[in-house]
């Protein structure tokens, strides 16, 4: 007889591993199956986020920012650095260590919470008697394949198989010359000239890393608007800062033929003025979005429905068309963010336990970890105008914030939007230092449906960047104290 579990989680990324842990905490007998392997064939839990996403990108952003500071800004502090050089191998090695610490951390958490882990590929096999049979096949080239294929059965299945980078037609990833996020994070030498197609979160973060390390970086974006999903006052400020740093961002381009040539990669495109251009670069990174990953899952074996884009079809509660089969994270609709996947994982485990897990999509924060960082939660000015909502806006520049001046990091602002009648905060948009951390206060405020006056009346430590949030709240009522 096959091994039986209360809950089988397919995928060990942030959605899957968190769902498995929460389900185990709630008393279920849980299995999690994940096929990702490290360089030596061992398990590498944590999915895209830990292996080729959030964590390695932030490690390289940190290292490259140190390099930039040492090279260009330490002198402002009276610190003279001579003989500055880059050991990219060491920098990449540090990044790999950070990734491994996170991989091992998840493995430890599985042991602690008694989650049974299979380092394998999972696919649906059949459903019978209220159970789903899942085929567990040894993942390719793993160090210690468990045994041959086996079938395990689960009363509930949570699919968390994530996403993969979208390819440009005619330019498949080879991860040597034409790179996805995977190759962009592991280059062994700094390319002299680098082109990124797609000025979204990943394109801007990767472009920033390699520019800081010395590449001449061009970013080509098809849309005419920079960061169209971001409040445009914030996006304009960010574009100014990135351009000043030397990122060459071209909007409204139409990419044509891409060829790997002797000297590198040639990218033909038509620019916003309609002029035909050809860019010759050493490497090309394509970051034009990600697609749901159901390869090898065999959804058809049980009749699991996908939408027209290949994502698993779910309702607001992450229920699929099959009873007791759930799907979360990047493989379903909604923002492709690690923390969104995690919240869905917790909510689904709690729903399986008969509780009322819930994800408030309106208060999911977004962050771009460039310098300056960009972070936001809730509605932006363009969205409020589009639905005719009456609002008040308050902004406060970091230039007028004492801590930002002491840090030498005064680019950007906090912008708060509140309902014109009730003063409830509808959105907060930040471009500037530590925006990723500052946004947390605004998320809490919005979860508790705070007004801008609530933030304005809370005592914030001085000197701190968070005072800019308080001042933006005061600005909603046109009474900033420091500007």
Ligand X SMILES: Cc1cc2nc3c(=O)[nH]c(=O)nc-3n(C[C@H](O)[C@H](O)[C@H](O)COP(=O)(O)OP(=O)(O)OC[C@H]3O[C@@H](n4cnc5c(N)ncnc54)[C@H](O)[C@@H]3O)c2cc1C
- Name the token pair of 12: 């060990």
160 touching ligand X, by CB under 6 A: yes
For residue 278, list its beta bridge partners: 268
Of 115-123, 394-402, 440-448, 457-465: span binding ligand X (CB under 6 A): 115-123
* 341 near ligand X, judged by CB under 6 A: yes
Among 336, 346, 348, 446, binds ligand X (CB under 6 A): 336
Of 249 and 348, which CB lies nearer to ligand X in the complex structure?
Answer: 348
Task: Sketch the per residue contact string, 180 through 219, with ligand X: x for CB under 6 A, - otherwise.
Answer: -x--------------------x-----------------
CA 395: distance to chain centroid? Answer: 26
Q: Burial letters for 200-238: b for 16+ Cβ neighbours within 10 Å, e otherwise?
A: bbbbbbbbbbbbbbbbbbbbbbeeeebbeebbbbbbebb
Which pair of structure tokens corresponds to residue 433? 């230092």
252 in Cβ contact with 222 (< 8 Å): yes
Shortest Å distance, C-beta 219 to ligand X: 15
Q: Locate tokens 């689904």: which residue? A: 348
Residues 270-299: x/- map of binding to ligand X (CB under 6 A)? -----------------------x--xx--
In the set 133, 231, 237, 330, which binds ligand X (CB under 6 A)?
330
Instruction: Convert residues 374-413 into a mask of x (bound to ligand X by CB under 6 A) and - (unbound).
Output: ----------------------------------------
DSSP character for 271? -
Rounded-to-integer distance, Cα 252 and Cα 423, Å: 37
Task: Choose one: 4-12, 22-30, 267-275, 313-321; the region binding ligand X (CB under 6 A).
Answer: 4-12
- φ and ψ at residue 97, rounded to 5 degrees: -65, -40
185 vs 384, which CB is nearer to ligand X?
Answer: 185
In the window 42-101, what residues touch ligand X (CB under 6 A)? Answer: 47-49, 53-54, 57
- The answer to whether 16 contacts ligand X (rule: CB under 6 A) is yes
Residue in 267, 304, 338, 426 binding ligand X, rule: CB under 6 A: 338
Helices (H), 328-465: 338-352, 381-386, 402-407, 435-447, 452-456
Q: How far apart are CA 117 and CA 9, in angstroms?
A: 10
The residue to which tokens 């961002």 are assigned = 249
Residues 428-457 touching ligand X, rule: CB under 6 A, are none
356 is catalytic: no
Q: And the tokens for 361?
A: 């999509």
| 61: nearest Cα among 376, 436, 412 | 436
**By C-alpha distance, which of 399, 416, 417 is closest to 408?**
399
Question: 66, 72, 73, 462: which one is catalytic?
Answer: 462
In whole angstroms, the minimum distance from the beta carbon of 225 to ligand X comes to 22
Q: Which residues bind ligand X (CB under 6 A)?
A: 10-16, 33-36, 47-49, 53-54, 57, 121-123, 160-163, 181, 202, 293, 296-297, 329-331, 336-339, 341, 369
Catalytic residues: 462
């Amino acid at each position: 007889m096959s091994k039986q579990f209360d809950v089988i989680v397919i995928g060990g990324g942030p959605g899957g591993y968190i769902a498995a842990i929460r389900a185990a905490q709630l008393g279920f007998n849980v299995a999690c199956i994940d096929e990702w392997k490290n360089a030596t064939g061992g398990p590498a839990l944590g999915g895209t986020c830990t292996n080729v996403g959030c964590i390695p990108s932030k490690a390289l952003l940190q290292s490259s920012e140190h390099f930039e500071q040492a090279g260009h800004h330490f002198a402002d502090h009276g610190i003279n650095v001579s003989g500055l050089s880059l050991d990219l191998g060491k920098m990449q090695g540090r990044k790999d260590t950070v990734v491994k610490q996170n991989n091992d951390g998840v493995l430890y958490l599985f042991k602690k919470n008694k989650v049974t882990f299979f380092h394998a590929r999972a696919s649906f096999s059949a459903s019978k008697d209220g159970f789903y049979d899942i085929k567990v096949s040894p993942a390719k080239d793993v160090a210690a394949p468990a045994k041959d294929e086996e079938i395990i059965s689960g009363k509930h299945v949570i699919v968390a198989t994530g996403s993969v980078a979208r390819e440009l037609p005619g330019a498949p990833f080879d991860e040597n010359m034409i790179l996805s996020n995977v190759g962009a994070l592991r280059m062994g030498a700094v390319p002299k000239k680098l082109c990124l197609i797609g000025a979204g979160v990943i394109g801007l973060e990767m472009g920033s890393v390699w520019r800081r390390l010395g590449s001449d970086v061009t970013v080509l974006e098809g849309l005419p608007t920079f960061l169209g999903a971001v409040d445009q006052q914030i996006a304009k400020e960010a574009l100014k800062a990135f351009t000043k740093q030397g990122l060459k961002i071209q909007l409204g381009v139409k990419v044509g033929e891409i060829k790997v040539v002797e000297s590198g990669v040639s990218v033909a495109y038509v620019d916003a003025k309609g002029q035909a251009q050809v860019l010759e670069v050493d490497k090309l990174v394509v970051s034009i979005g990600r697609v749901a990953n159901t390869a090898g899952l065999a959804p058809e074996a049980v009749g699991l429905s996908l939408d027209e884009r290949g994502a698993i079809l779910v309702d607001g509660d992450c229920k699929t068309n099959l009873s007791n089969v759930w799907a979360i994270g990047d493989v379903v609709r909604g923002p492709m963010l690690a923390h969104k996947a995690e919240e869905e994982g917790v909510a689904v485990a709690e729903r399986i336990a008969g509780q009322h897990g819930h994800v408030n999509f309106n208060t999911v924060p977004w962050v771009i970890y460039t310098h300056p960082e960009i972070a936001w939660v809730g509605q932006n000015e363009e969205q409020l105008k589009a639905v005719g909502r009456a609002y008040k806006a308050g902004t406060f520049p970091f230039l007028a914030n004492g801590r930002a001046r002491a840090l030498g990091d005064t680019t950007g602002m906090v912008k708060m939007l509140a309902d014109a009648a009730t003063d409830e905060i509808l959105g907060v948009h930040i471009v500037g230092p530590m925006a990723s951390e500052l946004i947390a206060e605004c998320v809490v405020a919005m979860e508790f449906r705070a007004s801008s006056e609530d933030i304005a009346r809370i005592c914030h430590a001085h000197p701190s960047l968070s005072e800019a949030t308080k001042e933006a709240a005061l600005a909603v009522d046109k009474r900033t104290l420091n500007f």
